[in-house]
Amino acid sequence: MTTNQNSAPVTPTPAPETPLRPEAEVLAQARRRSRRSFIGLGLAGLAGLGGWKWLISQPDDSGIPHPLRQALDANGRLSQAYFKETRLAPEFARSRAKDPRVNGRIGLAEELDPAAWRLRVQGYGAGKTQEFTLADIQALPKVEMTTELKCIEGWSIVVHWAGARLSDFLARYPLATRSGRPADPLNPPADLAPYVGMQTPDEKYYVGLDIASALHPQTLLCYEMNGAPLTAAHGAPLRLVTPLKYGIKHLKRIGTIAFADTRPKDYWAELGYDWNAGH
**Span 221-240, contacts to ligand MTE by CB under 6 A:** 234
**Nearest distance, CB of residue 182 and ligand MTE, angstroms:** 28
CA distances in angstroms from 72 to 23, 50, 67, 78, 187, listed in the order given: 24, 20, 8, 6, 10
Question: Which residue from 121, 209, 248, 269 is in contact with ligand MTE, where contact means CB under 6 A?
Answer: 248
Question: Which residue from 247, 249, 252, 275 is in contact with Mo ion, where contact means CB under 5 A?
Answer: 247
What are the beta bridge partners of residue 228?
A: 225
* Distance from C-alpha of 33 to C-alpha of 155, rounded to nearest angstrom: 30
48's enclosing H/E stretch is helix 45-57
CA distances in angstroms from 47 to 41, 51, 71, listed in the order given: 8, 7, 21
Binding mask 201-220 for ligand MTE (x = CB under 6 A): ----x---------------
**Helix (DSSP H) and strand (DSSP E) numbers for the chain:** 8, 10
Q: Which is nearer to ligand MTE, 174 or 255 (CB)?
A: 255
Question: Which residue from 102, 109, 139, 228 is in contact with ligand MTE, where contact means CB under 6 A?
Answer: 102
Binding mask 103-142 for Mo ion (x = CB under 5 A): ----------------------------------------
The separation between the first and the last C-alpha atoms of the chain, rounded to the nearest angstrom, is: 26
**Nearest distance, CB of residue 108 and ligand MTE, angstroms:** 5
156 counts as binding ligand MTE under rule CB under 6 A = no
Binding mask 84-103 for Mo ion (x = CB under 5 A): --------------------
**Nearest distance, CB of residue 254 and ligand MTE, angstroms:** 9
Residue 187 backbone phi and psi in degrees, to 5: -150, 65
CB atoms inside a 10 Å sphere around CB 120: 18
- Interface contacts to ligand MTE, rule CB under 6 A: 100-108, 151, 200, 205, 234, 247-248, 250-253
